[in-house]
């Protein structure tokens, strides 16, 4: 479903601030894979997801989505393959537009925008049903501005939007990091529900080791722009935090210092 | 006095169309677009030159609108393709338009006295000039806000609104934000030029200077409309723009009547806009000061 070959991304090339964020990364995902991504600050996790989404041009390598080479495709032209949820709950929705208008934008992801109505009545009925599944009471607030919702509600809505038109690949970048623990747990539960229901191929960055171990069928750990650890199947099922830390230290040849990753 | 108020009403209705254009960029797209200072006289220039050359005034006004669209396109391309900041892109087009407007008119101003205008059909029916302007202004501005109400409810219009809100999200939904910004600028400047065409016809001449300070007038009208007549629904907010533009002209007419030197008008308008822009934060600040004073008192 996703195939990455020799992907390299350098920020501020040729200056004193030069930073190799990704250094010829090879990585691929099968349809239905749910891969969790962990790694220390600045390891390149977000950069990996952003390169897949086309947020900025890459400096080397190829990205194939569903068999299409999208390496040179601008961000908006790749969107039809992708569902995305960001760390910042404000980033995934349009605050001044109401809930149904936001859903309607996602419903038309990757399609031509014509002079037909932005939201139709048939859609409204469908959205109401879907919102009810979130169990947040949003189905009764469909004409409320999204800006009035809480961070957790917005993130749940963004998740619903990202999965509305089953994307080929779902990209989640620490999408619960900005939420309080209870809301984060709820949004993670929703994530699992939606991924299962639509059988989505999913790439999820998290800084919570336990979540990374518990969720998905495969786990990768990144370090200094490279994939340092890649564990799948039964091996992942029997994985523990201690194993993961040991694996990381062995592959990167350095101690895992005090980091968000260890504290979580 | 009634004549003064009628004059203000008629002028306000023509400037309302310009205010609606400013609303599209300033509120919907979240761009401060200075192109309008050039596209307003552009509309006047195109309309007057065509009318002077015996073109039907309605057709001339429509061509003026297209000219404004082109100006908006120019700013949009500068901003999105050459990545020049929006404010600067607008200024560049505005400056360029000054020369272009002079070229179009062949002189700094152009009179169309005794030539037919869009108000002619009504005045030949025996209607007073002011009244005919009011009728045309009401019909045109209501027609425009109805069209925009429909347009911004469509898929395309929604995409433009979302672009002004959150570009990152819009790109993630597969929408080309560059195209949406260009489209918004095109529509906005088209309306501004149409407004310029009507204003020029109402005063029987176009002047290369007629756009100077127009962005501030547009913003003043927009903000006065929002403060005095704003509401929750989109139609109500569009309607508030027309009322705001009229209210602005009436305020100006009254302060002139009260003896303000007309040379001080722009200063007065600028100060009014500055206060209005500060108002939301100002309210918050006053609330905080009151709160802390109440605490100290307790
Ligand atoms: N737009 C940018 N410009 C310059 N440098 C950047 C940019 N984005 C990321 N970097 C740098 O690239 C490196 C990788 O960043 P990235 O955001 O991918 O890390 P991450 O693994 O997501 O970390 P975190 O856990 O903190 O989110 C970091 O050193 C970062 O400073
Ligand atoms: Mg990150």
Domain ranges of chain B: 2-211
Token duo for residue B34? 């200075």
Cβ–Cβ below 8 Å for B176 and A101: no
Backbone angles phi, psi at A208, to 5 degrees: -100, 105
- In this predicted structure, the answer to whether residue A58 has a pLDDT above a threshold of 90 is yes
Cβ–Cβ below 8 Å for B162 and A97: yes
Q: What is the homologous superfamily of the domain A2-81+167-263 according to CATH? A: P-loop containing nucleotide triphosphate hydrolases (3.40.50.300)
* pLDDT, one tens digit for every residue, chain B (298 residues): 788 899 999 999 999 999 999 999 999 999 999 999 999 999 999 999 999 999 999 999 999 999 999 999 999 999 999 999 999 999 999 999 999 999 999 999 999 999 999 999 999 998 899 999 999 999 999 999 999 999 999 999 999 999 999 999 999 999 999 999 999 999 999 999 999 999 999 999 999 999 999 999 999 999 999 988 988 899 999 999 999 999 999 999 999 888 888 888 888 888 888 887 787 777 777 887 887 777 765 5
Residue found by looking up tokens 């009229």 in the block:
B246
Residue A96: predicted pLDDT: 93
Residue A28: predicted pLDDT: 94
- Rounded CA Rg of chain A: 19
Pick from B151, B158, B177: which is nearest to A105 by CB? B158
Q: Which atom of ligand 1 is nearest to the CA of A174?
A: 27
Closest-approaching ligand to the CA atom of A45? 1
Q: Which of A53, A96, A163 is the best residue to mutate to test the B interface, defined by the most B CB atoms within 10 Å of its own CB?
A: A96
**Gap from CA of B79 to ligand 2 centroid (Å):** 29
Question: How large is the average pLDDT for residues A234-260?
Answer: 74
Q: What percent of chain A has pLDDT over 90?
A: 72
Q: Which of B243, B265, B245 is nearest to B255 (CA)?
A: B265
pLDDT bin (cut points 50, 70, 90) of residue A263 is low
Residue A254: predicted pLDDT: 66
Cβ–Cβ below 8 Å for A118 and B158: yes
Asked whether B49 and B196 are in contact (CB, 8 A), the reply is no
Residues whose CB is less than 8 angstroms from the CB of residue A227 and which lie 6 or more positions away in sequence, other chains included: A25, A26, A27, A220, A221
Residue B28: predicted pLDDT: 96
Q: Which atom of ligand 1 is nearest to the CA of A225?
A: 14
Residue B231: predicted pLDDT: 84
* Chain A residue set in contact with B, beta carbons under 8 Å: 53, 74-77, 79-80, 82, 84, 86, 90-97, 101, 104-106, 108-111, 113-119
Q: Which of B4, B5, B15 is nearest to B220 (CA)?
A: B15
Nearest-neighbour CA in chain B from A117: distance (Å):
4
- Partners of A117 on chain B (C-beta within 8 Å) are 153-155
Can you give the pTM of this predicted structure?
0.91
Beta strands in chain B (DSSP E): 109-111, 205-207
**Gap from CA of A3 to ligand 1 centroid (Å):** 22
- Partners of A79 on chain B (C-beta within 8 Å) are 171-175
User: Which ranges constitute the DSSP H helices of A71-150?
Assistant: 75-78, 99-107, 121-134
Distance CA B224, CA B217 (A): 10
Which protein residues are within 6 Å of ligand 1, measured from CB? A 11-12, 19, 21, 39, 41-47
Pick from B151, B165, B168: which is nearest to A97 by CB? B165
- In this predicted structure, the answer to whether residue A15 has a pLDDT above a threshold of 70 is yes
Whether residue B216 lies within 8 A of chain A, CB to CB, comes out as no
Pick from A79, A113, A118: which is nearest to B172 by CB? A79
Pick from B154, B162, B166: which is nearest to A116 by CB? B154
**Gap from CA of A11 to ligand 1 centroid (Å):** 9
Which DSSP category does B166 fall into? -
- Partners of B174 on chain A (C-beta within 8 Å) are 76-77, 79-80, 108-111
Exposed / middle / buried, residue B276 (Cβ in 10 Å: 0-12, 13-18, 19+): middle
Beta bridge partners of A171: A84, A203
- In this predicted structure, the answer to whether residue A264 has a pLDDT above a threshold of 60 is no
- In this predicted structure, the answer to whether residue A260 has a pLDDT above a threshold of 70 is no
Residue B285: predicted pLDDT: 78
Token duo for residue B237? 């907010």
């Amino acid at each position: 479903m996703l195939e990455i070959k020799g992907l390299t991304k350098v920020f501020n090339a040729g200056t004193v601030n030069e930073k190799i964020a990704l250094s010829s990364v090879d990585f691929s995902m099968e349809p239905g894979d749910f891969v969790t991504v962990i790694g220390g600050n600045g390891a390149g996790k977000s950069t990996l997801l952003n390169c897949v989404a086309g947020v900025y041009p890459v400096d080397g390598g190829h990205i194939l989505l569903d068999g299409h080479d999208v390496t040179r495709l601008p961000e908006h032209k790749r969107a039809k393959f992708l569902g995305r949820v960001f760390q910042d709950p404000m980033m995934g929705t349009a605050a001044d537009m109401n809930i149904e208008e936001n859903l309607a934008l996602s419903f038309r992801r990757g399609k031509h925008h014509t002079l037909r109505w932005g939201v139709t009545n048939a859609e409204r009925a469908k959205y109401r049903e879907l919102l009810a599944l979130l169990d947040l009471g949003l189905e009764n607030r469909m004409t409320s501005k999204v800006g009035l919702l809480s961070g957790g509600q917005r993130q749940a809505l963004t998740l619903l939007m990202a999965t509305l038109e089953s994307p080929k690949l779902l990209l989640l970048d620490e999408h619960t990091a900005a939420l309080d623990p209870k809301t984060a747990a709820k949004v993670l539960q929703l994530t699992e529900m939606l991924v299962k229901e639509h059988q989505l191929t999913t790439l999820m960055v998290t800084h919570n080791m336990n979540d990374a171990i518990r969720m998905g069928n495969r786990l990768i750990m990144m370090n200094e722009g490279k994939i340092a650890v890649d564990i799948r199947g039964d091996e992942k099922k029997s994985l523990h935090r201690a194993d993961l830390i040991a694996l990381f230290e062995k592959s990167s040849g350095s101690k895992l210092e005090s980091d968000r990753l260890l504290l979580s | 006095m009634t004549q003064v108020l009628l004059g203000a009403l008629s002028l306000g209705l023509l400037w309302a169309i310009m205010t609606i254009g400013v609303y599209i960029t300033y509120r919907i797209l979240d761009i401060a677009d200075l192109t309008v200072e050039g596209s307003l006289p552009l509309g006047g220039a195109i309309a007057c030159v065509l009318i002077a050359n015996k073109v039907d005034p309605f057709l001339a006004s429509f061509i003026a609108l297209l000219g404004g669209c082109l100006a908006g396109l120019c700013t949009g391309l500068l901003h999105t393709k050459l990545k020049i900041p929006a404010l600067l892109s607008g200024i560049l087009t505005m400056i360029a338009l000054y020369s272009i407007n002079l070229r179009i008119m062949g002189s700094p101003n152009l009179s169309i006295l005794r030539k037919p205008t869009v108000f002619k059909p009504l005045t030949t029916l025996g209607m007073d000039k002011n009244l005919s302007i009011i009728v045309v202004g009401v019909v045109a501005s209501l027609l425009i806000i109805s069209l925009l109400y429909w347009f911004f409810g469509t898929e395309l219009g929604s995409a433009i609104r979302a672009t002004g809100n959150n570009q990152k999200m819009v790109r993630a939904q597969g929408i080309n934000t560059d195209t949406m910004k260009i489209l918004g600028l095109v529509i906005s400047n088209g309306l501004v030029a149409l407004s310029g065409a009507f204003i020029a016809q109402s005063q029987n001449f176009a002047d290369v200077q007629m756009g100077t300070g127009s962005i501030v007038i547009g913003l003043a009208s927009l903000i006065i409309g929002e403060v005095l007549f704003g509401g929750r629904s989109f139609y109500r907010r569009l309607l508030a723009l027309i009322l705001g533009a009229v209210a602005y002209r009436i305020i100006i007419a009254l302060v002139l009547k009260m003896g303000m030197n007309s040379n001080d008008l722009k200063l007065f308008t600028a100060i009014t806009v500055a206060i209005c822009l500060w108002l939301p934060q100002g309210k918050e600040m006053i609330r905080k000061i009151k709160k802390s004073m109440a605490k100290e008192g307790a």
